[in-house]
Structures are given as C-alpha cells and as structure tokens.
A = this chain, B = another copy of it.
C-alpha cells in the first residue's frame, strides 16, 4: 500500500479518538501547549534519527555520491523508456485479447479493432501527459502505417520533445526478407514518419525484435546510429558493422508491458514490483559499473490508466535516489558511441562483415 493511503488511514483511525477524548475531558491550554512542544521536538528528533537511518540503511548512497561515475554525464543509473506506437498498423488477426479465437478470414473483428484504436485515442496521449508531468523524454518506435493513419498522434509525440525512432513501414516480419526488400521496408518507414514528424530516425526496433542476419548492415547503410533488439547486456555496447561502430541498446523483455501484461497476464502491481526490484539492483550496481534500465510501453497496453499509474508510482520511486536520469536512446547512443568505457561485443561478427 502506498504511503499516502497509509496517512489517510492514519487520520481516519485517529479522528474518532480525538472527538471521543474531548467528550471525556476538556482540553487545558497549559497542557496542550506543553505537549505541542513535546510532540514537535519529538517529531524533530525522530526525523533526525530517520535521516541517520536513511543513510545507515543504505550505506552505499554516501560512498556512491563520492565514487567515480561510469556514465559520461555522471549519472549513477540511466533509464530509458521505449514507447511503441503501432496502433493502426496492425494486420488482420494481430495479437489482441480476441486473437485466441480468430474469426474467419475477411470477417471484421470489431472489438479487436476498437481495442487497437484505444492506443491512438487514449494510450499515447495519456503517456505523453505523464512524461510531460515529470519532464521525461522517451524514445518512440513508430510503425510507418500507424503514423499515416494517425498523423496527429505522431506529431504530438514529436512535439513533446521525444525521439522518433523507426519500427518498419508496416507491422510485418522482417527476419524473412532479403537484403533489398528489408532495406526498402526500413527506409519506407523512416521516410513516411519523417514526412509527418520532421524527424529522421537514427534508432531501430524490429517487429518482435526478430532481425534478419542482414538487419544491422541495412541499418548501417541507411545511416542509423543504433538498434535495440538485443537482450544480452544491462548497458549499451558497440558492435562492428561493416567495420564501423554501431551502438546496441539493451532491450529488456522483463520490463516490457506486452510481454508481462498481455503475455504473462500480470496485474499492474506485479509490473510495478518488477520495475522496483529491477531498479533497486541496477541502481546499487551503478555505483561500481555502468548500468542502464530499459522499459517498453505499447500504446494500447502501457497506455491504460492502471499501467500509467504504475509507471508514475515507479517514477516517484526513482526520485528517492540521486543520480537517476531518464534519457532518449539517441542521446544515450551519441554519448557512448566514442566513449572508451563502452564495451565492444562482436558476438554476431559473422553476420556483420
């Protein structure tokens, strides 16, 4: 239960006692004044104790604030949110609460379609309100056909100071395309979205993360700076693509709304606990190495009231610590691209030459 509720309950509990007590015995100002001072000083002392405790409970904090920082910008932990805008781009029969029992081909699945529209009507705008309230800039992965269907939504994202990243021209498999088709698929998405938002994407996210062996070469050829479809680290790293540096941003399925809320059937409080547990560990590790936390929210899922509430509770939770920074992935990529501390990992070398 959050602390606000606790304090309300505290008040509700004590309110009747006070009245009750007043009936028993009239207040004497002399006592009231005296005890007022006692309480005040008591609270004052307690708060000092708690302050001490605060530091004891987390010995790491003090050292950390002194310790060497592992991000060029001095952050102890960098958090980056991905906001997928896909609604309107989904194919017939795309995953939805109804796709478990599909209708015959050609038969419109009206409630499923309305479920997707939610992302454009409510989801993205609700998330934009939250990012604005806390002055957080996120990276939005925009499907080309989604932007074409809902240009105002795409423009609102860009207008909010958020990164417009690419997510393909359509909601479609990319792993099975040949080089030429894949290049076209990616480039068309970038062009369409740039025309609408004025932003040219430098970051990429594949449909269901499933890259082809050519994807990184395609992205390199198209001038991309980074991709996010790799789960192997909790920090960005460099991989060589046709001999040049390419940034790989960590993707964290365990912090992904669609995987957990739709796929694992979690309740929003479970999602919040996952984020808090993840944060507690990564923040602590941030005092001794470079750590990044990655979270993914999709328009129609992360954009629901309960999930946005969960995210707001998480944001408040991170504010209790120093050195936590929310960033766009393009800014992170630029920051680490030529940083000597950035690890180099060529595990997929055989595909990228």
Contacts and interface: CB of A to CB of B under 8 A. Distances in A.
A218 to B, nearest CB: 13
Number of this chain's copies in the complex: 4
B27 A35 contact: no
Nearest to A251: B111
A50 B58 CA distance: 23
A344 B16 CA distance: 46
Contacts of A348: 110
A1 B349 CA distance: 45
Tell me the interface secondary structure of chain A in the complex: helix
A109 interface: yes
Nearest to A237: B121
Interface string A8-42: 11111111111011100101100110111111111
Which bucket holds chain A's interface residue count?
35 or more
A53 B16 contact: yes
Interface of A: 1, 3-4, 6-18, 20-22, 25, 27-28, 31-32, 34-47, 49-54, 56-58, 97-98, 101, 103, 107-111, 113-115, 117-118, 121-122, 126, 175-176, 208-211, 213, 229-234, 251, 253-254, 259-260, 263-271, 273-274, 277-278, 280-282, 285, 304-310, 312, 320, 345, 347-348, 351
What are the 3 tightest A-B residue pairs by CB atom distance, in nearest-first order?
A: A281-B305, A264-B265, A277-B306
